């Protein structure tokens, strides 16, 4: 019987590509993954080849949510059959660590981001100190740690003196044919700008919506969910851009590549507001690359390194709407350059697939049991 691995997240499992890929790699290696998340209003049914558990919680956000979730998770972990427990990001770590220590199980930490430097905490020093204290107490005592890029790994190693592995969040080499989505009336036949990912502060989304006032010949899709979605929808309505901007919401990753294929330009314009974004390497970059989609991307170290080494888009360090619109127009009118970017992306993507990361991932779990 294979070793049982429980992987905990605070989302509803619908759009978390990284956790799904980890689960599939473990499953194919003979282990038995169990994913634990939560139910949200509108959460879609899951049809996965591994077990999924979703908690229905009283609270949905804030301190009471994190307390509610971690208590439920801790109680679950006390009794479930398991060999290794995986915390995906700091907001699941307390329950995972306590249960793992009590039951003497392997404890693995998959850091999807530099959690204590996310924009939501940068201007909240009191809350940030609580998370930093939790991290500093637990981090040196973990069985194994891995994260998404070398920049974040180096920060953790310097801070805590532990060995942190790197497992990049890359797309699988071959995707199943996606289920077609729906475009609103008035989008067909127009070039599309695509943003896919969390709809949170600091991602340039307000500015790209405002830029659409200067781009009447284009359409914008913002595919994802997050804290500022309603705010962005109100901004779109205020600017009378409802016919030009579409919010499909959280798109299951099984369907997401359909939207990627419809686009002409993909954007990843995170702003330098905290170390988490400064050293971000968003998985959407690699999704765009796999689709042969030229990108408009921020001048941040990890993002610049990938975009320039592959040569599949434009790097910018300004985010005012007029500049964004002018840059996109300039990209679109240069058809030969767009073809070159597309060719470079498609030519490079085989070197940027999950299969290149899988041996690194499995080595972590081999050492953790």
- What is the chain's pLDDT, residue by residue, as a tens digit (369 residues)? 789 999 999 999 998 999 999 999 999 999 999 999 999 998 989 999 999 999 999 999 999 999 999 999 999 999 999 999 999 999 999 999 999 999 999 999 999 999 999 988 888 999 999 999 999 999 999 999 999 999 999 999 999 999 999 999 999 998 777 778 788 888 989 999 999 999 999 999 999 999 999 999 999 999 999 999 999 999 999 999 999 999 999 888 888 899 999 999 999 999 999 999 999 999 999 999 999 999 999 999 999 999 999 999 999 999 999 999 999 999 999 999 999 999 999 999 999 999 999 999 999 999 766
Tell me which residue of 113, 111, 44, 54 sits closest to 254, measured CA to CA. Answer: 44
pTM of the model: 0.91
- In the block, tokens 């434009």 appear at 314
Top-level class of domain 4-170+353-367: alpha beta
* Fold that domain 192-351 belongs to in CATH: Rossmann fold (3.40.50)
Scanning the structure block, which residue is given the tokens 């009191």?
126
Which H/E stretch holds residue 19? helix 17-28
Distance CA 293, CA 56 (A): 38
What ranges do the domains of the chain cover? 4-170+353-367, 192-351
Question: Could you tell me which of 141, 147, 151, 142 has the C-alpha nearest to residue 165?
Answer: 147
**Burial annotation 293-319 (CB, 10 A radius, 16+ → b, else e):** bbbbbbebebbeebbeebebbbebeeb
User: Which pLDDT score is estimated for 326?
Assistant: 98
């Amino acid at each position: 019987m294979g070793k049982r691995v429980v992987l905990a997240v605070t989302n509803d499992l619908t759009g978390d590509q990284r956790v799904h890929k980890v689960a599939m790699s473990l499953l194919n290696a003979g282990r038995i993954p169990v994913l634990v998340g939560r139910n949200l209003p509108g959460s879609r049914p899951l049809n996965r080849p591994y077990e999924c558990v979703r908690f229905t919680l009283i609270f949905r956000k804030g301190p009471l949510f994190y307390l509610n979730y971690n208590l439920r998770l801790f109680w679950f972990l006390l009794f479930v059959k398991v060999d290794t427990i995986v915390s995906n990001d700091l907001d699941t770590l307390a329950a995972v660590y306590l249960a793992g220590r009590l039951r003497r199980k392997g404890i693995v930490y998959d850091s999807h981001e530099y959690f204590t430097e996310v924009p939501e905490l940068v201007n909240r020093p009191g809350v940030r100190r609580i998370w930093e204290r939790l991290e500093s107490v637990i981090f040196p005592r973990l069985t194994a740690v891995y994260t998404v890029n070398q920049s974040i790994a180096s920060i953790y190693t310097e801070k805590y003196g532990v060995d942190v592995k790197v497992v990049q969040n890359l797309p699988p080499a071959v995707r199943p044919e996606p289920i077609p989505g729906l475009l609103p009336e008035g989008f067909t036949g127009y070039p599309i700008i695509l943003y896919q990912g969390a709809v949170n502060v600091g991602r340039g989304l307000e500015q790209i919506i405002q830029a659409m006032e200067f781009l009447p010949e284009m359409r914008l899709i913002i595919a994802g969910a997050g804290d500022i979605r309603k705010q962005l929808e109100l901004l779109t309505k205020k600017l009378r851009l409802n016919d030009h901007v579409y919010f499909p919401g959280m798109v299951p990753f099984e369907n997401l590549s359909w939207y990627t294929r419809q686009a002409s330009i993909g954007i990843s314009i995170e702003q330098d507001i905290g170390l988490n974004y400064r050293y971000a390497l968003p998985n959407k970059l690699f999704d765009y690359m796999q689709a042969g989609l030229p990108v408009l991307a921020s001048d941040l170290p990890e993002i610049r390194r990938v975009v320039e080494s592959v040569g599949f888009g434009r790097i910018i360090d300004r985010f005012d709407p007029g500049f964004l619109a002018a840059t996109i127009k300039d990209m679109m009118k240069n058809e030969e350059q767009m073809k070159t970017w597309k060719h470079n992306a498609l030519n490079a993507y085989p070197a940027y697939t999950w299969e290149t990361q899988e041996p690194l991932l499995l080595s972590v779990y081999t050492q953790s049991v």
